[in-house]
Structure 1
């Protein structure tokens, strides 16, 4: 049984709600960049509730989010251009990989991707990137890398008003500036040590 049911004629409102307004592009943690196409008033369990109707063009879907809960679930405005520049700079840094079980690392990467935070997503792209002369990614690594790359490219494209292809190219250019990693440090171990992929160990970290 549906909890939210459409009223016969939903109201579309233009005033801002929680700092957001209709037609604005936003970032929703679980899906990335979307557009608020309407703010509707609907009936839920006999009570009237305002909802953001968010359209995700690439995924061809709509999500309805209660206006009152938008902030608490992590919905946010697009990053400013200077923050996008900071995220691109992250890609130029040394990749950091915990030499722990892959399943554990995969969960951490997935959490970063779905955090909605552009810097955290950039860290996943940086850490899972492999140049042509480096060992290939495993299937699961590739999936996470592509998910992070897609989320990052979508936001950069909307913020900088460029195509997603151009955004991916900008990401690749910055990744190319990162220190070269060695095959030796790509090998997985089972100790819980944060390492710089170029071979310089950092302090032990108790995860």
Structure 2
């Protein structure tokens, strides 16, 4: 399973490090809790060991997957009609972000970057929020995978999400 020092990703929170495994007595039942610190947003989470499998907690991607991530960030060719381009896809994007998969977050960035380029007045508020969440999610993981600064990780996203 996981051990202290492992870099992990928790869906919708991003990447962090397991700092400790604590045993707690809750209502007479002893449970082990993973204590995970998320450096980008300075949050500490305690996750019960018996909920790890269903929580979506996973190890961060391997450095060799960075090229795949860069490709996934590229804007997609859009085939949406003008009517569809105006419709916010916040529910679909939120579902992708909640999956905890870095490639799903890259898809959100790719789709919204393409959509942003098509619209003269920018993205809807929910789309902007989802774009920011997706970027933050990926940045948190890139910081731990490649030992990048926050600025370098954001620059990686910017460089790879530009149109061809």
TM-score w.r.t. the length of structure 1 is 0.69
Contact in 1 for aligned 2:12/2:137 (Cα 8 Å): no
Greater relative contact order structure (CA < 8 Å, 6+ sep): 2
Q: For the structure 1 residues 71 and 138, does the alpha-carbon distance in structure 2 shift closer, same or farther, using more than 3 Å as the test?
A: same
Query: Residue 33 of structure 2 aligns to a residue in which SS?
Result: strand
Deviation of the 1:71 alpha carbon: 2.1
Q: Distance in 2 between matches of 1:110 and 1:72?
A: 18
Q: 2:158: which partner in 1?
A: 172
Aligned to 1:86: 68
Moved over 3 A (4+): 95-98, 100-103
Q: CA–CA distance in 2 between the matches of 1:150 and 1:172?
A: 12
| Distance in 1 of aligned mates of 2:48 and 2:79 | 38
Residue 150 (structure 1) aligned with residue 136 (structure 2):
yes
Asked if the contact 1:95/1:127 (under 8 Å) is kept, the reply is no
Q: TM-score, normalised by structure 2?
A: 0.86
> 99, 103, 110: which one pairs with 1:115?
99
What value does the CA root-mean-square deviation take over the aligned residues? Answer: 2.2
Secondary structure of the structure 2 residue equivalent to 1:109: helix
Q: Report if the CA contact (8 A) 1:33-1:155 is conserved.
A: yes
Query: Aligned with 1:21: secondary structure?
Result: coil
Structure 1 position 76, deviation (Å):
0.2
Q: Contact 1:41–1:51 (CA<8 Å) still a contact in 2?
A: yes
Unaligned runs of 5+ in 1: 1-17, 180-207
Query: After superposition, what is the alpha-carbon deviation per residue over 1:110-144, rounded to whole angstroms, capped at 9, x for unaligned?
Result: 1111211010000001111135x963222222111
Residue aligning to 2:19: 37
- For residues 21-48 of structure 1, the C-alpha deviation after alignment (integer angstroms, 9 at most, x for no partner) is 1122210013111111110011122111
* Distance verdict in 2 for CA 1:141–1:38, change over 3 Å: same
Gaps of 5+ in 2: none
Q: 1:50 to 1:168 in 2, by over 3 A?
A: same
Aligned pairs (5 A) from 1:56-71: 56-71=38-53
Name the CA shift for 1:155/1:23 in 2 (closer, same or farther; >3 Å): same
